[in-house]
A and B are shown apart, each in its own frame.
Chain A
Amino acid sequence: MPSVLLLCLLCMAHPVHPHLIQVCGGVQTDTQMATSEYGHAMVLRRLLRKRWVLGVVFGLSLIYFLTNTLKQEERTIRDRTLLEARDPDHRIPWKVRFNLGNSSRPITQCRNSIQGKSLLTDELGYVCERKDLLVNGCCNVNALSSRQYICKSCLANGCCNIYEYCVSCCLQPDKQLLLEHFLNRAADGFQNLFTAVEDHFELCLAKCRTSSQSVQHENTYRNPQAKYCYGESPPELLPI
Chain B
Amino acid sequence: MASRLSRIWPTLSRVRLSAALGSRCVSQTPKSSASGAAVASDLQPVSPAAQDSHGHAEVSPFEKNPDFHGFHHHDSFVDQWNMKLAFFFGISVAIVIGGTFIHYLPDHGMRQWARREAERLIKQRESEGLPLMTENFYDPSTIVLPSSGEE
- Chains A and B are bound partners: no
- Interface residues in chain B, defined as those with a beta carbon under 8 Å from any beta carbon in chain A: none
- Interface residues in chain A, defined as those with a beta carbon under 8 Å from any beta carbon in chain B: none
